[in-house]
Amino acid sequence: MSIRPALRRLWPAFLGAVGFAALFTPARGLDVDPRLQKDEQDRIALIEKIKAPVLAVLAPGGQGGGSGEIITEDGYAVTNFHVAAAVGSLFHCGMANGEMYDAVLVGLDRPGDLCLIKLIQKPNQTIKFPTVAIGDSDQVKPGDMTVALGNPLLLATDFNPTATFGMVSGVHRYQKIPHPTGTLLEYCDCIQVDTAINPGNSGGPLFNMKGEWIGINSAGSLGKSDRINSGAAYAISVNMVKNFLGHLRAGLECDHATLGAEIDPENEDGGLGRLVVGRMLSGSEVDRRGLAPGDVVTHFGGVLMTNLNQFKNRLGIYPKGWRVPMTFRHDVTEVHDVLVRLPGRTADVLPDKNPQPGAPPEGAPADEDSGPPPLPPPPPNTDAAKLFVAKPGFANYYFNKLERDALIDSFHRQGDFTAFQGPWSLRGDCTIAKKPTSAEVAVRPPSKDQKDDLILGTVDGTAYKIDPLDTATTLKDLMDPPDSGGMLLALYQYRQLMTQGEKGFIGQLSHGGVEPFYPPSVVGSPPDYRKRVMCDVLRTKQAGVATKWYFRRADQDKWYMPQAPTGELIGFEVSPDHDEDPCEVYLADYAQQNGGSVPGRIEVVCKGKTYAVMTNVKFTMEK
Amino acid sequence: MNRLIRIGASASAVLLCFAGSVRADEAATKEIAEVNKKIVKVWGSGGLHGLPGFGTGFLISGDGYILTADAQLLDTRDLRVHLWDGTKYHAEVIAQEPELDVALIKIKPASDADKIEDLPHFDLEETAKRPPVDVGTEVLAFSNCFEIATRNDPVSVQHAYVTAFAKLQGRNGFYEMPYNGKVYMVDAVTNNPGAAGGALTTRKGELIGMIGRGLRNELTGTWMNYSIPINAAAEVTQPDGKVVKTSIVDVWLQKEKYIKANANGQQTKPGRTFDRILRETTGIVLVADPVDITPPYIDDVVPGSPAAQAGMRSDDLIVYVGGVSVKTVDDYKQMMFHYPPGQKVQLELRRGDTLMTVELTLAKLAERK
């Protein structure tokens, strides 16, 4: 009771009167601080500058819709999966200038609530679409002002977007929402804003005050007033979108990563949250890298981990299959730095150790044919229907084939060896276990003496002979020489890609999106995680053996942006056994041989250890 | 019962003015990071039937005193707080001032060796010296609304303007909104689940108010977004009937009184916590609930009370409230929260081997002066 400041009643009353006048006679303008006037003008100018690529996304028939934004001049645009789920594979998109375009579904990331679509040019007319300027959501801080553009409540009949301003309330948030289709939408590392976000804003852009696109407005906390703005809304961070753009553009049905080990919820006694490893999925890569129950994860994806939300955030922004650095402590004292290929959340179940008759062969990844039911295809006789091919495992196979063919073409432009259908071999100086020796690997195509391809090799004085297509060939044979993870088989796969092209991979030949690749910097030293190279990935399967081929992307700074493939193959991974580490092959020192560019240096790595380094490699190919 | 919220406001308070001319183009990132260190996430009872089991508070001393809302959250022996850096502590209730809707709680050190000192905190006495901010002032609201943050996640921060500084009289469920002083109304949706007890600050991070609980206007269906000023006084009726003016700052300054009273096992005043209201409207005295799974056995029935009139007796076990099974004292309280005074509620009791159904007409709350 002692401290009770006198209320200053008169003073606010006086100021109030001034404000009243200013509010109702804005034309006079004189009473308004010029800085406020400038702020207002800046805001108006900002909206004008950024609104062109904002889309009103509508379902044919007008039932429901959302928002979107165009990211490339040839018309790729993003929206939410939950918008696509309500719309289908054919979208009507209204642009801010009042023009209406049709768009077709390209790629889907259901758990991440992302969808890539492509606007279809009108007949006899090709325009450059306006695009958003892509920002960096890791730079966003609580307190930053933002503007959301979109089509809340489907208000704009002329598609001129609605603008709402607000502040960033929090970053690196984790939220999850079940979707009626059965998918759990997880918003990992998302941006929380108090900017008014209402139904219909979904899929639309969140901008910072520089006009850079930083997020996709997607969800809000359910307040007390149904689905209307509750003061806490969430935008998918644009940096997560970047990680998935390559996959989406390849028409994939994306999955997010998991760890292959459970992290126990926070320990109950005080102190900082520690991420203690609980149950492990046996046979997972973290298991093979030495992670054990009771170990403490300290860094993930290069970020210090101090609570479970943070870990879920970091894990959730990666697509399935990405290789990510991780640091953990074992027995408190041992610190392990490892690279881990992250398994998927939904389809990546462990293969059955005792397969039933008729079951897919061991080593076959359990994807492709499983997964959620696809979205309905576009109605026939529409332009969108010409750009749509349904196939399990893909959101729209048409775009996968498009990207895949462009990637293979670019590879053949580096060196087309498809004329060399005869015997093929390579040999070179070789270092195995720091000991100089030699290696020669040859592939002999089918002849009158033999039914199948035959791999012949002499490595470090030992001769090998493998029939990779014979069902009697054991897994152990396929993984020869010992400790190499399957070097002979890997080089056989390389010959398939060089000389056979599409017909060399009957099992699978598809674009695998964009992934990081970690070349070994110095022989024998661990890979430098900071020197990752972003690559276009080609996925193949031949004779039950899955291979991922890594092609360097042209622009490593804007690695996430669509770009013409280089065809520069810098490495590949061959997995004879889905349950074991693949045989990694790194290619370097390309030079001209046989009328094309081939690597002069081949390094073979398995389980994080270099098995062999071949130099002065000479290829011999016969037609 | 009048469940309308009336905003009585003098003409001076509702007019908009442009008193604050802080530009929006400079983000208050630094100030936000500093304030965040003073905010704590609170976990207590609740979690059922729409009542959040989480809330917000803020530190007002280096040794761990925290101000928070006087909510049902505090009706637990397992009150926990998370500091900005992720440190987790148990906390105890020091003082409750229902008339201000505020409670003072304190961090309990994990052990005798654990010295709690030098925690970042708001200086309440400094706050008390500042006059109320003007209508039109740009403010920031910090809270753990929707339980978005845990451990060292920063709490949510929202941006708003003060739209009114006015008296608020409201009722929420059958809680009276006891506070009858002026409040800051803001133009952002600040009073979400879990936000009560959060801090309202200026753009510079100066504390000005505590975010209140959700109050709904029954007429318009809209929810009020208000904060209780730290230093604005409200009229409070003392047990002896005397009306005095007091503020949140006073609760802090007079904490010794509360601490002493608590040590003697008595409260300084009969604050209207939910437990007391429940006892007053039913006449049911439950057994003490030393563990979370204590079943709702009746210990005693107040003569002449609705429970007595319905024929309830000690040793009866309450098994259903309004057709919903209640297994613990906590379940029972959660369910009863949905029945305002004056309403009828059907209870099923187990007495010995028989089940019986009784209907209770909850007494109206005695008028408070």
The pLDDT tens digits of the residues spanning A57-67 come to 998 877 778 99
- Best A2, A14, A15, A42 member to test B by mutation, with max B CBs in 10 Å, is A15
Q: Where does the pLDDT of residue B16 fall: very low under 50, low under 70, confident under 90, or very high at 90 and above?
A: very low
B15 and B155 fall within a common domain: yes
Q: Is residue B247 part of a domain?
A: no
A274 and A240 in a common domain = no
In a domain, A351, yes or no: no
A10 pLDDT more than 60: no
Same domain for A121 and A168?
Answer: yes
Q: What is the pLDDT of residue B9?
A: 28
How close is the nearest chain A Cα to the Cα of B84, in Å?
11
Q: Could you tell me if residue A416 is inside a domain? A: no
Please state, in angstroms and rounded to a whole number, the distance separating the CA atoms of residues A486 and A495: 14
Asked if the model's pLDDT at residue A202 lies above 50, the reply is: yes
- The answer to the question of residue A271 being in a domain is yes
Contacts of A5 in chain B (CB under 8 A): 128-132, 231
Residue A15: which of B19, B130, B249 has the nearest Cβ?
B19
Indicate if B163 and B46 belong to the same structural domain.
Answer: yes
* Cβ-nearest to A169 among B156, B223, B244: B156
pLDDT of residue B114: 80
Quote the pLDDT of residue B21.
36
Chain A residues closer than 8 Å to B245 by CB = 1, 4
List of residues 6+ apart from A425 with CB closer than 8 A? A440, A441, A442, A443, A619, A620
What pLDDT score was predicted for residue B234?
A: 77
List, in sequence order, the alpha helices (H) in A392-486: 397-414, 475-478
Do A453 and A489 belong together in one domain? yes
Rounded Cα distance, B121 and B62, in Å: 6
Does the beta-carbon distance from B16 to A18 stay under 8 Å?
Answer: no
Share of chain A above pLDDT 70, in %: 88
Continuous segment of H or E residues that includes residue A552:
strand A545-552
Q: Catalytic one among A67, A89, A137, A202? A: A202
Q: Is A201 on the interface with B (CB under 8 A)?
A: no
Same domain, B69 and B217: yes
Q: What is the pLDDT of residues B111-152, one digit of tens each?
A: 777 888 899 999 998 888 888 899 999 999 999 998 888 888
To test the contact with chain A by mutation, choose from B10, B15, B251 the residue with the greatest count of A C-beta atoms within 10 A, namely B15
Which residues on A lie below 8 Å from B153 (Cβ)? Answer: 170, 172-173, 307, 309-310
CB of A172 within 8 Å of a chain B CB? The answer is yes
Name A178's bridge partners: A184
Residues B166 and B299 in one domain: no
Cβ of B358: how many Cβ atoms within 10 Å? 17
Inter-chain residue contact A272 with B253, CB threshold 8 Å: no
pLDDT single digits (tens) B241-256: 677 788 888 888 888 8
Rounded distance between C-alpha atoms, residue B332 and residue B279, angstroms: 12
Q: Which of A91, A150, A132, A579 is nearest to A376 (CA)?
A: A91
- Give dist(CA A602, CA B323) in Å, integer: 74
A232 vs B110, B132, B192: nearest CB: B192
B190 interaction partners in chain A (CB closer than 8 Å): 231
The C-alpha atoms of residue B149 and residue B54 are separated, in whole angstroms, by 11
For residues B187-197, average pLDDT: 90
Which of B229, B253, B284 is the endpoint of a domain?
Answer: B229
Q: Say if residue A237 is in the same domain as residue A132.
A: yes
- Which pLDDT value is given to residue A121? 96
Q: Do the domain assignments include residue B314? A: yes
Based on the fold, state whether residues B285 and B204 are members of the same structural domain. no
Q: How many Å apart are CA B236 and CA B368, to the nearest integer?
A: 10
How many other C-beta atoms can be found within 10 angstroms of the C-beta atom of residue B200?
Answer: 27
Cα–Cα distance measured from residue A379 to residue A265, given in angstroms and rounded to the nearest whole number: 47
Tell me the average pLDDT across B96-107: 86
Q: Cβ A232–B87 below 8 Å, yes or no?
A: no
Q: Tell whether A246 and A286 lie within a shared domain.
A: no
Q: Are residues B201 and B77 in the same domain?
A: yes
Q: Which residues of A touch B33 (CB under 8 A)?
A: 142
Is residue A565 domain-resident? yes
The CA distance from A492 to A445, in Å, is: 11
Of the candidates B24, B110, B151, the beta carbon closest to that of A307 is on B151
Which residue of chain B comes nearest to A15, CA vs CA?
B17
Res B362 pLDDT > 80? yes
Please report which confidence band the pLDDT of residue B291 belongs to, taking 50, 70 and 90 as the band edges.
Answer: low
- Region B336-340: mean pLDDT is 74
How many Cβ pairs within 8 Å bridge chains A and B? Answer: 198
A202 is annotated as an active-site residue: yes
Q: Between A48 and A280, whose confidence is greater?
A: A48
Q: At what angle do helices B329-336 and B274-282 cross, to 10 degrees?
A: 80
* Contact indicator for A187, A137 with CB cutoff of 8 Å: no
And the tokens for B143?
Answer: 């809270």
Average pLDDT over residues A323-334: 86
Residue A303 pLDDT more than 70?
A: yes
Rounded mean pLDDT, A170-198: 90
- Residues of chain A found within 8 Å of residue B253, distances taken between Cβ atoms: 2-3
Q: Which letter does DSSP use for residue A401 in this model?
A: H
- Domain annotation covers residue A349: no
What is the residue-averaged pLDDT of chain B? 80
Say how many C-beta atoms besides its own lie within 10 A of residue A381's C-beta.
7
Residue B1 in any domain: the answer is: no
Contact with chain B for residue A314, Cβ under 8 A: no
Residue A225 confidence (pLDDT) = 54
Least CB–CB distance from B148: residue in A9, A170, A310 = A170
Q: Domain check: are A170 and A197 in the same one?
A: yes
CATH (domain of B332): 2.30.42.10
Q: What is the mean pLDDT of residues B23-29?
A: 65
Instruction: Assess whether A321 and A435 both reside in one domain.
Output: no
pLDDT computed for residue A577 by the predictor? 85
The reported pLDDT for the residue numbered A53 is 97
Phi, psi (deg, nearest 5) at residue A547: -135, 140
**Best-predicted range by mean pLDDT (A121-135, A277-291, A441-455, B182-196):** A121-135
Cα–chain center distance at A160: 31
pLDDT at A305 over 70: yes
Choose, out of A167, A176, A209, A304, the residue to mutate when testing the contact with B (most B CBs < 10 Å): A167
For residue A226, what pLDDT is reported?
Answer: 54
Distance of alpha carbon B274 from alpha carbon B253, whole angstroms: 26
Q: Structural domain tally of chain A?
A: 4
pLDDT at residue number A272: 58
Would the CB atoms of A35 and B21 count as touching at under 8 Å? yes
Inter-chain residue contact B150 with A307, CB threshold 8 Å: yes
Among A325, A341, A357, identify where a domain stops.
A341
In the residue annotation, A113 being an active-site residue is answered as: yes
Same domain, A480 and A600: yes
Alpha carbon of B86: minimum distance to chain A alpha carbons (Å)? 5
B283, B191: one domain: no
Clarify whether residues A61 and A43 are in a common domain.
no
Q: Is A269's CB within 8 Å of B110's CB? A: yes
Query: B258 lies in a domain?
Result: no
At A348 the pLDDT is: 41
Write the pLDDT tens digit of every residue in A245-256.
999 999 999 999
Residues B38 and B157 in one domain: yes
Residues B204 and B331 in one domain: no
User: At residue A423, what is the residue type?
Assistant: P
Q: Is the distance from CB of A499 to CB of A620 less than 8 angstroms?
A: no
Q: Which residue in chain B has the smallest CA separation from A35?
A: B23
Q: Which residue of A has its CA nearest to B154?
A: A170
CATH of the domain at A299: 2.30.42.10
A266 domain-assigned: yes
Q: Are residues A214 and A320 in the same domain?
A: no
CB atoms within 10 A of CB A361: 11
Query: Is there a contact between A3 and B148 if contact means CB atoms under 8 Å apart?
Result: no
Q: What per-residue confidence (pLDDT) applies to A224?
A: 56
What share of chain B in percent tops pLDDT 70?
79
Confirm whether A355 is domain-assigned.
no
Interface predicted TM-score of the whole assembly (ipTM), two decimals: 0.76
- Closest Cα in chain A, distance from residue B110 (Å): 7
Nearest CA in chain A to B186: A231
Task: Give yes or no for A265 touching B (CB within 8 A).
Answer: no
Pairing of strands A462-466, A508-517: unpaired
Q: How far apart are CA A307 and CA A310, in angstroms?
A: 5
Give domain status of residue A510, yes or no: yes
> Residue B268 has what pLDDT?
43
Residue span of the structural domain in which A321 resides? 261-341
Q: Do A306 and B86 touch (CB under 8 A)?
A: yes
Domain that residue B348 falls in:
274-361
Residue B42: both structure tokens together:
């609170």
Last residue of a domain, one of B229, B245, B261: B229
What are the chain A neighbours of B156 within 8 Å (beta carbons)?
169-170, 192, 194, 232
Q: Which of B129, B136, B153 is opposite residue A5, by nearest beta carbon?
A: B129
Q: Do residues B189 and B278 share a domain? A: no
Q: How many angstroms separate the CA of residue B364 from the nearest CA in chain A?
A: 27
CA dist A581 to A40, A116, A516, B11, Å? Answer: 59, 33, 17, 75
pLDDT digits (tens, 9 = 90+) for A487-504: 999 999 999 999 988 888
Tell whether B131 and B278 lie within a shared domain: no
Residue A155 has pLDDT above 90, yes or no: no
A306 contacts B152? CB cut-off 8 A: yes
Best mutation site among B51, B158, B248, B249 for testing chain A: the one with the most A CBs within 10 Å? B158
Domain boundary among B229, B253, B282: B229
Evaluate if residue B29 carries a pLDDT over 60.
yes
How far is residue B340 CA from its own chain's centroid?
A: 18
- Which chain A residues touch B250 with a CB distance below 8 Å? 1-3
Q: How many domains does chain B have?
A: 2
Rg (CA), chain A: 28
Strand B156-169 and strand B171-172: pairing?
Answer: unpaired
Q: Could you tell me if residue B252 is inside a domain?
A: no
CB contact under 8 Å between A232 and B135, yes or no, is no
Residue B116 tokens, joined: 């709690």
- Residue whose C-alpha is closest to residue A93's, from A81, A77, A110: A77
- Check A67, A92, A102, A113 and give the catalytic one: A113
What CATH number does residue A525 fall under? Answer: 2.50.20
pTM confidence score: 0.79
Residues A211 and A331 grouped into a single domain: no
Examine the domain organization and report whether B182 and B305 are in the same domain: no
The reported pLDDT for the residue numbered B263 is 63
Of A1, A231, A272, the CB nearest to B87: A272
Residue B74 domain-assigned?
yes
Per-residue confidence (pLDDT) for residue B179, from 0 to 100:
75
CA atoms of A577 and A361, how far apart (whole Å): 10
Of the three residues A201, A228, A254, the one that is the final residue of a domain is A254
DSSP-assigned beta bridge partners for residue A344: A257
Q: Tell me whether A231 touches chain B (CB under 8 Å).
A: yes
Nearest C-alpha of chain B: how many angstroms from A303?
Answer: 15
- Please judge whether A33 and B18 are an interchain contact, meaning their C-beta atoms are less than 8 angstroms apart: yes
| B62 in a structural domain | yes
Residue B269 within a domain: no
Do A77 and A32 belong to one domain? no
